[in-house]
Amino acid sequence: MGNNCCHPDRCEQDVNSQYLTKSTLEPSTPLSEAVLKNNSTWIQLAGHSGNFAPAGPKTVWKRQPKDNRGEGQCLYELRHDAVRDVVPKFYREVEYDNTVYLEMEDLLKHFRDPNVMDVKMGTRTFLESEVRNPELRHDLYEKMIQIDPFEPTEDERKQAAITKLRYMQFRERGSSSASLGFRIEAIRRTGEPSNTDFKKVHTRNEVSSTIQHFVRAQPSVCKQFHRRLQEIRKKFEASEYFRHHEIVGSSLLFIYDSDRHANIWMIDFAKTTHVPDKKITHHSPWVPGGHEDGYLVGLDGLIEIMKELSSPPKRSPNGRAVKAES
């Protein structure tokens, strides 16, 4: 199999033969009214709106872009990798109504009334191929000054244009991606609408406070998250696949419910790219052509923050413990 996506027919045939013949797998009923009605709790967060649909009692379909079907290849290869237990189970690639979908495990089915947080990982969130063009662009300059009119250098002001690389690095510095190796993309707490307005959350204290709000100040939830992050770190280090792949635009999906059951999965591998003849540390600083992504910088930072939040609640001046949110 190649390093892009497997051939659709072969991928579907291979995965079906290994997974879909198992009696434990419920038959899919893609997009039927009955399934949609029974999946009223389905949640879609930042970057995923309109890309997911319930497929069966325990699976979902994820729409694939026409110009990039690499995520199916990635999930296919990860089925036998060290990280296979921390990514969604992948069943098959299917075509429906002239659109390609990946059928995978519905992670929300493990929870009741789930709370969900999407955290984008890495110090670099753009592919090297996206910023190789040295063309100076006026549109990106205009976007930059709309965000921060004092950011352009004197030369950039004279040209009224910047490269895409300059713009992307500027945007990353405005979030916690460049400094912490991750950024919060979206949060949806039970009974509340999804929140994607985290552009101003970029310091460590701001990130920690946001996570504390997400978990409703429950140390027991944070302890489960901390253990799972350590497990992901261990499996990531043992992964043969990730030694030779850069991981760009991938997320960690944090989920917990009213029973205080919590878990995390690695998701979103559309921009995961094979790098031949090079070992990626996922920790070293990025230089053009180096393919480092800083994934472990963010993972280590999250482990530390979650460890701190796992401590017992602080006590008020009168000696009483501060209660967690209900």
Q: Where are the alpha helices (DSSP H) in the chain?
A: 8-15, 33-38, 70-78, 138-147, 154-159, 164-173, 177-180, 204-214, 219-238, 295-309
283 vs 46, residue with greater confidence: 283
How far apart CA 325 and CA 115 sit, in angstroms, is: 14
Predicted TM-score (pTM) above 0.85: no
SS3 269: coil
How far apart CA 47 and CA 12 sit, in angstroms, is: 26
* pLDDT per position as a tens digit, 157-203: 999 999 988 988 888 888 899 899 999 999 999 989 889 989 889 89
How far apart CA 83 and CA 239 sit, in angstroms, is: 6
Task: Judge whether 138 and 160 are in contact, CB under 8 Å.
Answer: yes
The tokens of 209 are what? 């406070």
* pLDDT per position as a tens digit, 10-69: 344 443 333 332 222 233 333 344 333 444 445 556 555 557 888 878 898 888 887 777
Task: Judge whether 104 and 62 are in contact, CB under 8 Å.
Answer: yes
What mean pLDDT, rounded, does the chain reach? 82
| DSSP codes of every residue in 286-317 | P-TTS----HHHHHHHHHHHHHHHTSPPPBPT
* pLDDT per position as a tens digit, 240-272: 999 999 999 999 999 999 999 999 999 999 999
Helix (H) or strand (E) holding 283: none
Answer yes or no: is pLDDT of 111 > 50. Answer: yes
How far apart CA 224 and CA 143 sit, in angstroms, is: 40
What average pLDDT does range 218-245 have in this prediction?
97
pLDDT in the model for residue 49: 54
Contacts of 288 (CB under 8 A, 6+ apart): 128
Q: Which amino acid is at 170?
A: F
Helix (H) or strand (E) holding 96: strand 90-96
The tokens of 179 are what? 């400094």
Answer yes or no: is pLDDT of 320 > 80. Answer: no
Give the angle subtended at the CA of 304 by the CAs of 167 and 271, to the nearest 5°: 40
Bridge partners of 237?
A: none
